[in-house]
Chain A
Amino acid sequence: MSAAMKNDNIVVRSLAQIGDCALFLLRMLAAVPRSMRHWRETVRQLWFVGAMSLIIIMVCGLFVGMVLGLQLYDVLSIFGGTSATGTVVAIAIYRELGPVVTALLFAGRAGTSVTAEIGLMRATDQIAAMEMMAVDPIAYVAVPRFLAGVIAMPLLACVFCALGIFGGHLVGVSWLGIDNGTFWSNMTATVEVVKDVINGVIWKSVVFGIVVSLIAVFQGYTTPPTSEGVAYATTRTVVASSIAILALDFVLTAFLM
């Protein structure tokens, strides 16, 4: 542990941790070419953090879209504007809820499991064993999990958005009786591919994927090799990721609008 990390001042400690995290990112980026040898491991991790997160992302996306459709219909009916329900559902999901909620769910589901797994690997000397077998654990353990998270996040955000809009359609059209043609035509006329889909969903979720995966891998890799250390590390992953996602969302929105 560095001298700065031992400092009691929370500001100094936090800054030191951000610095360590940035250096860890550089180490991972430098190890990316070496990790190409372990591409199968990246695919395996993509399955664990991506495919295994699909169910929770789909279910949450569906319900977020449904509740959004219900609330918007209720409010818009006051002004006789229920035909705009599809448009507002789509814009809200594309620009904010899709990438942000997906990232929060991803941090809770995949981020914590990555942190706990790497932390336990450290606690049980598996990381040290790899070092002793002349296998670079950054290239074999950290980079595949990081890359898998960065690749999986935008894909999961797209799935979330699709299910969210489907949920809005289910409530608005199938349940509350909004005209199907109006729902879709208003939405397609208003939603812009670059502004709402590329900037709103793809770019944001790529950035969130980098941040959440980096925090998860870093926390796991640097955790003290004890049960308590692993428990704290998983908690820190969720807390730090959530704050980072919401703060970055504001910054990215301001730049991309």
Chain B
Amino acid sequence: MTDSVSAKPDDSALVRVRGLTTVLNGKKVFDALDIDIPRGKITAIMGPSGTGKTTLLKHITGQMRGDAGEVWVDGHNVPKLSREKLFELRERIGYLFQNSALLTDYDVFENVAFPLRQHTDLPEVLIRNIVLTKLQAVGLRGAAGLMPTELSGGMARRVALARAIVFDPMLILYDEPFVGLDPIALNQVLKLIRTLNETLGITSVLVAHELEAIKQVADHIYLIANGKVVAQGDPKTIADDGSPWTRQFFGGDADGPVPFQYPAGDLGQALGFPGSGA
């Protein structure tokens, strides 16, 4: 197996997706998708539900492989990496899951300490300091002793965020980071994402639907629909873009290029109204 670890000549983009085509259960999720995630920037991936935003993150992290195309992360062709090389790469990537995915056997402190304990031999006092610092950043230092079952959804996401940043990774992938956060927590998480980006130069990819929050933090937005990028640009440009895609998505209209209804037959026929359908 070729590990293909040689960096591409132009590596201004930390993540480079080229011609990615993925078919799941007979449905083409991506159709020759091209995306560049620039280093040190915050990039938002937006799009209607079921359009493959989380699937794209899975491709970037090697959890899934496409039917065609390439996914390059920091010069590594992810689908071609061996398991060992993939794990080496993942040690430099933080991932915030949609449902937090905290380890239910461990308390908040141990959840955040978990990656450190697995990959380093740091002394306990140093692990404690790092973990408490990260928990302080997400406002949950006082909850270090709580179990995941004792946390609200928003608190669990903040703990998962602390765990994702515990290694100060080169790339953080946030899958719906704003769901379940109250306005105070939302504001603090936005500040944290921006701070991580500005102070440590961490590249961030956000999958989210909250346009107002995205506008505050993202440098670049990709709007994905029907397996392709249908619009892209900085938040102001994309919000003012008059294309039918952006108008419908950001305006929340049922009518437009993205069908609100899942494909179905005639409603009258389904309800058994006389004279409907064949």
Q: State the A residues within 8 Å of B (CB).
A: 120-121, 124-126, 128-136, 140
Contacts and interface: CB of A to CB of B under 8 A. Distances in A.
Given A133-B118, A134-B118, A134-B119, 6 more contacts: A125-B101, A128-B63, A128-B97, A131-B90, A133-B90, A135-B115
B63 A134 contact: no
A126 B100 CA distance: 9
27 contacts: A124-B101, A125-B101, A126-B101, A126-B103, A126-B104, A128-B63, A129-B97, A129-B103, A130-B103, A131-B90, A132-B63, A132-B90, A132-B93, A133-B90, A133-B114, A133-B115, A133-B118, A133-B163, A134-B87, A134-B88, A134-B90, A134-B91, A134-B115, A135-B114, A135-B115, A136-B87, A140-B118
A26 to B, nearest CB: 15
A134 B83 CA distance: 10
A132 B104 contact: no
B99 A124 contact: yes
Nearest to B173: A132
A125 B99 contact: yes
A133 B94 CA distance: 8
Interface centre among B88, B95, B98 (most CB of A within 10 A): B95
A124 B63 contact: no
A140 B118 CA distance: 10
B43 interface: no
A125 B97 CA distance: 8
Contact of B61 (A121, A132, A135, A136): A132
A220 B21 CA distance: 32
A101 B165 CA distance: 49
Nearest to A132: B95
A83 to B, nearest CB: 53
Contacts of A132: 61, 63, 90, 93, 95, 97
A158 to B, nearest CB: 29
Contacts of B88: 134
A136 B118 CA distance: 10
Interface string B67-105: 000000000000000000001101101010111011110
Contacts of B114: 133, 135
B95 A135 contact: no
Contacts of A130: 103
A134 to B, nearest CB: 4
A133 B164 CA distance: 9
A136 B61 CA distance: 15
A50 B97 CA distance: 33
A124 B104 contact: yes
5 closest Cβ pairs, A-B complex: A125-B101, A129-B101, A134-B87, A134-B90, A132-B95
A121 B87 CA distance: 20
Nearest to B98: A125
Interface centre among B93, B99, B101, B103 (most CB of A within 10 A): B101
B273 to A, nearest CB: 35
B59 to A, nearest CB: 13
Contacts of A135: 114-115, 118
Interface centre among A130, A133, A136 (most CB of B within 10 A): A133
Contacts of A129: 95, 97, 101-103
Contacts of B99: 124-125
Contacts of B87: 134, 136
Nearest to A130: B103
Interface in B92-149: 93, 95, 97-99, 101-104, 114-115, 118-119
Contacts of A121: 104
Contact of A128 (B93, B101, B118, B119): B101
B106 to A, nearest CB: 10
Nearest to A123: B99
Contacts of A134: 87-88, 90-91, 115, 118-119
B131 to A, nearest CB: 14
B70 to A, nearest CB: 21
A182 B232 CA distance: 91
B170 to A, nearest CB: 14
Contacts of A131: 63, 90
B110 to A, nearest CB: 12
Contacts of B90: 131-134
A41 B15 CA distance: 36
